[in-house]
Amino acid sequence: MTENPPVIELAGVRYRYPDGTEALRGVDLTVREGRSLALLGPNGAGKSTLLLHLNGILSPTEGSVRVGGAEVTPDTLRDVRARVGLVFQDPDDQLFMTTLFEDVAFGPQNQGLSAAEVDALVHEALHEVGLADAASRPGHHLSFGQRKRAALATVLVMKPQLLVLDEPTANLDPRSRRHMLALLRALGTTALVATHDMDVAWELCADAAVIDGGVVVAVGSREEVLTDAALLEAHGLELPWAVRTGGAS
C-alpha cells in the first residue's frame, strides 16, 4: 500500500536558544497528507519549540524542516505560511484587530485578494467555527471558548494544507472542550496536535509521537503508542481514559 506524501518532514532538527538551552536534540518526524498526529510530552519537552519550526518562526540550529517537499528557508517562507496554519495555545496571540471580521480577514487581505473574495472566505471560516453572528464584535469581548474558536478561524480562512494546534483544549470548561473536539473532528484535515491531554490525543489523532527532553522517543499509530503504559509513565504521561476503562475501540 502506497503511503500518502509527507506534508512536513523534520530531519535531524536541533535548536538551541540564545541562552544555550538545547530545546530540540536531533528530531526526526513526518506527518503525511490526510493523517493526524498527536505530539505528546510533559511540560518543557520541546513541543512548542518544535511547532514554531513548522512555519518558520524558528529556524533549526542544525537539520532541516521541509513543507510540501520544499525546505523552509527565507525564500520559501511565504508559501510555507500559506500551507501551515499554526493555532497558538493562547488565542489572544492571534486576535488583535478591532473586530473579529478584521482578525479573520487579515491573512487573506495580505494575499491581495479582492474585498468580495475576502468577505466570502471570512464568512465561511466564521460559519465553520460557529461564530458567524459574531463578526462585528471585538475579539476581547468573546468568551475564552469563543476566542479559541476565533483563533482557529484566523487560520482556517487561509485553507492550510496542515493544521498545527498547540494545546487546543487548554483551559476550556467541559462544554467548550466538547464543542472544540467536535469541531476539530468535523474538519477532518491533516493535523499535528501538540497536547499533554491524552484523551484529546486519543479522540482526535490516528498517530502519536512522544517527545521528551527535546528527543522523539516513540512514534507510531494511536493504538501502538497510547496503550503502552510503561512508555507513557516513563515520560510523565498517562493512559487515555478510554484505554484505562476498557472503552477503547
pLDDT tens digits for 128-146? 999 999 999 998 899 999 9
CA distance 57 to 215: 20
| Residue whose C-alpha cell is 491573512 | 107
> What are the domain boundaries of the chain?
6-244
Average pLDDT, the chain: 93
What pTM, to 2 d.p., does this model score? 0.92
In this model, does residue 181 exceed pLDDT 70?
Answer: yes
pLDDT at 133: 95
H or E element at residue 47:
helix 47-53
Domain 6-244 is of which CATH architecture? Answer: 3-Layer(aba) Sandwich (3.40)
Averaged pLDDT for residues 162-188: 94
pLDDT band at 219 (very low <50, low <70, confident <90, very high): very high
- Give all strands of the β-sheet with 207-212 in edge-to-edge order: 84-87, 162-166, 191-195, 36-40, 207-212, 215-221
The CA-based angle 216-220-224, given to 5 degrees, is: 120
Averaged pLDDT for residues 231-240: 94
